[in-house]
Amino acid sequence: MNTLRIDEGTRLLVLTGAGVSAESGIPTFRGSNGLWENHPVERVASPEGFRDDPSLVWRFYSQRRAGAAPCEPNPGHLAIAEWEKKLGDRFLLVTQNVDGLHRKAGSQRMVELHGNLFTTRCTRCERTPFEDRLEYPEGTVPLCGECGGALRPHIVWFGEMLNPRELIEVGEFLQRLDTRLVFMAVGTSGAVWPAAGFVDGARKGGGQTWLVNADPADNADRFHHFVQGRSGEVLPKLVTFE
């Protein structure tokens, strides 16, 4: 397997998707018996679905909380947290995952692009989104203790905008001029934008691009390097620091 050598003049942006958590026991979304095989996206992960049946949406997310709560980071998460320790501000992690495993592994310089499974917010008042690990009983919709409005998972649903401040942070990291860029995507099918387009931004800026994935992803041919394999096995051996 070819290895990625990182020296003092290099910065690393890592984008992760559901594949990086697969070895921790969390189901991915697409492919055989992916999450979306059993749950139509529109009904459980969209504003329209929440409007039509909020208790169904809360049942779906309570099930995902129950599934993710006992899971532990795997060697892939731990390797990424190690890279951050070595690189400091020459490192940024952008994850599409909401399972909290990168944080559990020690990652801090991180953008959770699609929100977090264990954070809840109010649909009515401006209350700050808050940590919430509760699994709500079937048929219930939790209400805000401050305004009585319906609470919702702090997740970016299909059709919703990403946090512009987070996209600016990623853009600024991609466009820095002080170091050479390496962009690495791990465990993502490249099916969802704008994350699927980060590789183009990296290449436009002259960055080296790597994909680590169990199967060729939709946008695999846009990467300079493709390492096929399980991230828990590949990542701990992939990077050498000079």
Give residues in contact with ligand APR (CB under 6 A). Answer: 17-19, 22-23, 28-31, 34, 96, 114, 187-189, 191-192, 213-215, 217, 230-231
Give yes or no: 154 in active site: no
- What six digits make up the tokens of 157? 């649903």
Least Å from the CB of residue 193 to ligand APR: 10
Q: How many other CB atoms sit within 10 Å of the CB of residue 39?
A: 18
Q: What are phi and psi of 73, to 5 degrees?
A: -60, 150
Is 75 or 207 the residue whose CB approaches ligand APR more closely?
75
Is 12 or 98 the residue whose CB approaches ligand APR more closely?
98
The C-alpha atoms of residue 60 and residue 202 are separated, in whole angstroms, by: 35
The C-alpha atoms of residue 68 and residue 141 are separated, in whole angstroms, by: 21
- What six digits make up the tokens of 135? 């699994």
The C-alpha atoms of residue 115 and residue 39 are separated, in whole angstroms, by: 19
Least Å from the CB of residue 229 to ligand APR: 7
Catalytic residue, chosen from 114, 154, 224, 225, is 114
Q: Computed over its alpha carbons, how large is the radius of gyration of the chain?
A: 18
Is 23 or 82 the residue whose CB approaches ligand APR more closely?
23
Is 25 or 137 the residue whose CB approaches ligand APR more closely?
25
The C-alpha atoms of residue 25 and residue 10 are separated, in whole angstroms, by: 33
| Closest listed residue to residue 214, CA positions, set 77, 19, 1, 33 | 19
Is 55 or 228 the residue whose CB approaches ligand APR more closely?
228
Least Å from the CB of residue 180 to ligand APR: 25
The C-alpha atoms of residue 114 and residue 190 are separated, in whole angstroms, by: 14
Least Å from the CB of residue 188 to ligand APR: 4
Residues with catalytic annotation? 114
